[in-house]
Structure 1
Amino acid sequence: MRRFELDPRLKRDTVRIARLGLCDLRLMNDSRWPWTILVPQRNDLVEFHEMTPLDQTMLTFEMGLVAAALKRETGAHKINIATLGNAVPMFHLHVVARDEGDPNWPGPVWGFGTALPYEEGRAEAMAQRLAHAVMDA
């Protein structure tokens, strides 16, 4: 079995938060929203329905952990969960904390404006904070 290889675009645009049972949990490097991405560690996976039933169950469980932790840590008004995969075909699931009045509320975060990278050290600090919140759930 070949080692899991993260899509280069996901690697470039994100910071690792933690490795969960199935997924590599990552923070999008866009400080406008607390935005996480769950990437099942399965090569050549494009669609949810291509996953085994066990992996689908694990993804749903990990998604719930991340969503609850993100809500607790940010106090967000709403947690958005979606899979798009149009620009990056490797299957990944977005979990985004949203608040009324944030950039583009109530519209989607995808394709809106230009990403505002975290200031130096802040992405790592946020990733560490979220890792603790998810692991302590």
Structure 2
Amino acid sequence: MFVLDSRLQQDTLLLGDYPLCSLLLMNDVQYPWFILVPRREAVSELFQLDAVDQLQLWQETNSLAEVLKDCFAADKMNVATLGNVVSQLHMHVIVRRRNDVAWPAPVWGKYPAQPYSAEQLVALKARLRLILTEGFCFAEG
């Protein structure tokens, strides 16, 4: 049975689901920072997914990164699995801009997260509803 890691639950907001992955939003308004988590039990590495799931993860990652790059006018898309703190397999898809507070350094560790306000979150979700269409199901709320 799939259970989302408690650290991801604490730091993110659930946006909805692709066929394989749950899509989370890092609760930090400084960057459009998304996380894809395959809904598979006890998986910490890409190679632990079967071939079909590996392909699906890459398709979902690439699709998301492509629409986010255009929607948020990214200078660079950062896409990575790290898992040094959270071992559950998860893919970071982060929109980077030359004018963001951490550029060109990594987004984690240097600047404390600034949570979304209710208004900012509503606006972001409305924007995402326009671009996340094929194969995506939004969470309630």
CA deviations over 1:52-73 (Å, ceiling 9, x no partner): 1111100000001110111121
- Residue 103 to residue 116, structure 1, CA distance change in 2 (3 Å): same
**1:59 to 2:27 alignment:** no
Return closer, same or farther for 1:121/1:38 CA change in 2, 3 Å cut-off: same
SS in 2 for 1:63: helix
TM-score (norm 1): 0.91
Q: State the distance in 1 between where 2:103 and 2:12 align.
A: 22
Which of the residues 38, 42, 45 maps onto 1:44? Answer: 42
Q: 1:20 maps to what in 2?
A: 18
Distance 1:108 1:95 in 2: 13
- For structure 1, the 5+ residue unaligned runs are none
Question: Which amino acid letter does the alignment assign opposite residue 99 of structure 1?
Answer: R
Between the two proteins, the alignment pairs up a number of residues equal to 135
2:112 match = 114
Instruction: Give the structure 2 partner of residue 34 of structure 1.
Output: 32
Task: Give the Cα–Cα distance (whole angstroms) in 2 for the partners of residues 36 and 63 of structure 1.
Answer: 10
CA distance in structure 2 between the aligned counterparts of 1:43 and 1:18, rounded to whole angstroms: 18
2: CA distance, partners of 1:97 / 1:52: 28
CA contact (8 A) 1:17 1:131 kept: no
Tell me the TM-score normalized by structure 2. 0.88
Shift in CA distance, 124/53, structure 1 to aligned 2, threshold 3 Å: farther
Q: Distance in 2 between matches of 1:19 and 1:61?
A: 14
Equivalent residue number for residue 4 of structure 2: 6
> Structure 1: which 4+ aligned runs deviate by more than 6 Å?
none
